[in-house]
A = this chain, B = another copy of it.
Amino acid sequence: MGDLETSSAHFRDCGDCPIRQRAVCSYSSPRELTLLDAAKSYRTYATGEEIVAEGMPASLVGSVVTGAVALHESLADGRRQMVGLLLPSDFVGRPLRPIAQYAATAASDVKLCLFERGKFERLLQENRSLERRLLEMTLDELDAARHWHMVLGRKTAREKIASFLVLLAVRMAPEAMTRWPNRVALEIPLSREAIGDFLGLTIETVSRNFTGLRKSGVITMTGARNGEVLDMGRLREEAGDDGSDDGLDGILRA
């Protein structure tokens, strides 16, 4: 858990921010950034802590700085499904509507860069490049959400797990991935239960398929939450996507 924080040393200014290049603020001019800098506040949440409650007025929006945030929807009878996983630079919360349709909870220890929703909406109104970047990110997230629709609708359990690991590998080691290296470190910010919850599988099925991928030599694990992809090409084949680099956009976000 703590190791998810290693890269995030303490900082106060947007200038030092580790997600500056990819977050909603990435198109902002120095002038805009000054406004954002003044309006933002950092907050950390411990694993399991609730950030926004489902169907409740949500007054905060912002960006994931470190860690992972899970979005959940529950059914009347209590069944619960994770419907999104937000990683560093992803946008949290729902601008332009007062009620959050999904609960957001800290899947690991998390640091967020937060804005009061009303204030953020005013900033959106007054800063074209902020609004433009949010539109772009939202379109990307929509493509990604539709990709997961396909994963859940058509893929086998093993393919689902492999797809999930591809997402993690790509998001956690983005620079290293421009030309596929074979080996990529895996740091899994979720419990087996949470992974199952995201992929519509049980904890047992998740576990069995981790074991399967390990025995096939596609990954190694050192402990349940970290390991290494031994062959990225084969992992992508296991995911049912072809081995090419196409369609990575859709894999890059959850």
Contacts and interface: CB of A to CB of B under 8 A. Distances in A.
Interface of A: 55, 71, 73, 75-77, 79-81, 83-84, 94-97, 101-102, 131-132, 134-136, 138-139, 141-143, 145-150, 152-155, 198-200, 240-242, 246-247, 249-250
Given A55-B246, A240-B77, A154 B96 contact: no
A56 to B, nearest CB: 11
B75 A200 contact: no
Contact of A83 (B79, B149, B155): B149
Nearest to A160: B153
Given A75-B150, A152-B152, A152-B153, 9 more contacts: A73-B250, A81-B153, A81-B154, A83-B146, A97-B139, A131-B135, A145-B146, A149-B152, A152-B200
Contacts of A250: 73, 101
Nearest to A136: B96
B146 A73 contact: yes
Nearest to A149: B83
Give the top 10 A-B pairs by smallest Cβ distance, nearest first.
A153-B200, A145-B145, A76-B242, A83-B146, A152-B152, A81-B150, A83-B149, A81-B154, A73-B150, A138-B138
A95 B136 CA distance: 9
B241 A149 contact: no
B84 A146 contact: yes
Contact of A153 (B55, B96, B134, B199): B199
A80 B76 CA distance: 31
Contact of A101 (B73, B94, B240, B247): B247
A240 B153 contact: no
Q: Which of A55, A75, A77, A242 has the most CB of B within 10 A?
A: A75
A201 to B, nearest CB: 9
Contacts of A132: 131
Contacts of A102: 143, 146
A218 B54 CA distance: 29
A131 B127 CA distance: 13
